[in-house]
Amino acid sequence: MKNKANNIPEPEKVDISGLTDEELVAKALEDPEAYVFLVQRYEGKLLRYIMRISRGTREDAEDLLQDVFLSAYKNLNDFDQELRFSSWVYRIAHNKVISHFRKVTARPKTTTYEGDSQILNILASEENIERDLEKKYTAQEVLEVLDQLEERYREVLVLKFLEEKDYKEISDILEKPMGTVATLISRAKKQFKKKAEEISK
Amino acid sequence: MATTSEKILQSIKETHLAPAPRWKFRARNSVIWTMFAVALLVGSLSLSVIIDQLVNHDWDIYRYLHKTFLQYLLLSLPYLWIVCAAVFSLLAYYYFVHTRGWYRHRVYRVVLASIGLSVALGTAFFFLGFGKQLDAVLASKVPYYQFLSVDKKKLWTHPDEGLLGGQVTQAEDSSGDFVIKDYSGNDWDVQQPVATPKDPAITVGEDVKIIGVEKNPQTFEAKEVRQWEAQTKKETAEDSDSSRSEVKGVETHKQTYSSDKTSEARTRTETERSDD
């Protein structure tokens, strides 16, 4: 298509929303406007993730989220093409939350959303489904259980069962070998079940 | 109210935030890999010194010191180098787990590969003589290094137990006897009634280790004479530079006495022939 006034060809319009994350990263390196699309793709997921693993209000989580996106933009050239962008940005969020709570020296507290308790109820009973079929944990009980877990166990449970990440993605986010992730999940499930039983008694 | 993406874009524009250049990340990765390589090399060098010290140790003398082998082993281990090798191995591991994508390897494989590489390099350095050289350089240049190392001289300063070490000060005696100054500064007349199995060439100025019997406070009867390994010779030579000059009657040129009686007899016969 040509511009009628000065005969200069107009730049070809690309449907940016159809690009993959990795293609958007390449675009964002040249044009910050393209980065907005990446932010829009992940702001909801990351806000929920940050709230799930952190203590504090929604406003705190939103501040952390902005920090995550600005840090990701600054380090865009360090994005490892062998990773999925989602794993990379979740990793940055994970590190930001950890360093934020190191600064404020408060233990992160879990927040669950509607539906989370249902998933975690399945988790709590999946080791002995027949015996635990009757058991139902309230959202409050699930929260209490998660809060009592060690941080590393809580984090893997959130990633596996609430964020629904696979082992490879969890390995990339936490920068731990897949074998270690599998061990952590197995131990976390046992600890979750034990604590859930204690609370229900 | 601005959305998150609008706030981010606004912040990027206001602060003129730009992605950090790729070379910075590459440089950071290169530094980490270099530190890993240095830690691995130093760890391997430490291992080569450990191997050298263990290989060249006199493991058979514990009976003379009235110790069990375990007690002697604990007394003989090069703890300084063991600590050094452990610290640098841990440092190598630390740097490795800071390299990009390290976690994609299984931990046991990483640990096994690190140990394997350190042992392979350490053994190679040992055979190349790096361990011996490093030990010798540190012994001569670094103050107090000797105090932190296994004191081999002390092990050989037990004449009453049958172990005597020192520097040869006279060796011209045709009977095979020679004189040494031990590490406490005492002179000993060392007698060799029979040729001993591991006799080295007895050279003035060199250090020897003797297994035998103390006859009296100045006389020691040798059953076996051994040479100090290269690095010990170097360090003792430097240590006793001053003491050597104090020894009375020491020839300024090197005198060598071969304790091999057969070769001595052969030499004598050849001399007699040339006289004829």
Distance from CA of B101 to the nearest CA of A (A): 8
Pairing mode, strands B187-191 and B202-203: unpaired
Select from A78, A83, A91, A156 the residue whose CB has the most chain B CBs within 10 Å, as the one to mutate to test that interface: A78
Residue B258: pLDDT over 50: no
Considering only CB atoms, B9 lies closest to which of A36, A78, A177, namely A36
Which of B11, B25, B104 shows the shortest C-beta gap to A70?
Answer: B11
Query: Are the beta carbons of A39 and B8 separated by less than 8 Å?
Result: yes
Give yes or no for residue A11 having a pLDDT over 50.
no
Q: Do residue B17 and residue A74 have CB atoms under 8 angstroms apart?
A: yes
| CA separation, residue A20 to residues A16, A27, B4, B102 (Å) | 9, 11, 21, 26
> Of the ranges A61-75, A121-135, B155-169, which is most confident?
A61-75
Alpha carbon of B160 to those of B66, B98, B105, B150, B192: distances in Å?
Answer: 12, 57, 58, 21, 17
Q: Closest-CA residue in chain B for A179? A: B106
Which among A62, A75, A180 has CB closest to B107? A180
The pLDDT score that the predictor gives to residue B108 is 83
Neighbours of A126 (CB within 10 A): 12
Residue B245 has pLDDT above 70, yes or no: no
Asked if B20 lies within 8 A of A175 by C-beta distance, the reply is no
User: Which of B5, B13, B97 has the most A C-beta neighbours within 10 Å, making it the best mutation to test the interface with A?
Assistant: B5
Q: Angle at which helices A167-174 and A178-200 pack, to 10 degrees?
A: 100
- pLDDT computed for residue A187 by the predictor: 94
The string of pLDDT tens digits covering residues B67-119 is: 788 888 888 888 999 999 999 999 998 999 899 988 988 878 888 888 899 89
Question: In this model, does residue A181 exceed pLDDT 90?
Answer: yes
Contact B101 A62 (CB under 8 A): no
From CA B202, how far away is CA B190, in angstroms rounded? 11
Q: Which residues on chain B are in Cβ contact (under 8 Å) with A175? A: 102-103
B57 neighbors B73 (Cβ within 8 angstroms): no
Averaged pLDDT score across all residues of chain B: 78
pLDDT per residue over B176-229, tens digit each? 788 888 888 888 988 877 665 555 677 788 888 888 888 888 888 888 888 876
Mean pLDDT of A34-45: 92
Q: Indicate whether B130 pLDDT > 50.
A: yes
Q: How far apart are CA B49 and CA A67, in angstroms?
A: 50
Determine contact: B103 vs chain A, CB below 8 A: yes
pLDDT over 60 (residue A134): no
Res A199: pLDDT: 75
Q: What is the pLDDT of residue B253?
A: 33
Cβ contact (<8 Å) for B4 and A66?
yes
Q: Are strands B202-203 and B178-182 parallel, antiparallel or unpaired?
A: unpaired
- pLDDT of A91 above 70: yes
* Residue B24 C-alpha, separation from nearest chain A C-alpha, in angstroms: 9
Over residues B187-200, the pLDDT tens digits come to 898 887 766 555 56
ipTM: 0.72
Locate tokens 């004829």: which residue? B276
CA quadruple B177, B179, B183, B184: dihedral, nearest 10: 110
Q: What is the average per-residue pLDDT within B40-64?
A: 89
Closest CA to B150 of B215, B79, B102, B200: B79
Residue A138 Cα, gap to closest chain B Cα (Å) = 33
Say if B26 is an interface residue toward chain A (CB within 8 Å). Answer: no
Query: Chains A and B: how many Cβ contacts under 8 Å?
Result: 71
pLDDT at B132 over 70: yes
CB contact under 8 A, B12 and A76: no
CB-based contact A89:A42 (threshold 8 Å) = yes
Q: So what's the pLDDT on residue A3?
A: 44
Dist. CA B256–CA B172, nearest whole Å: 7
**% pLDDT > 70, chain A:** 71
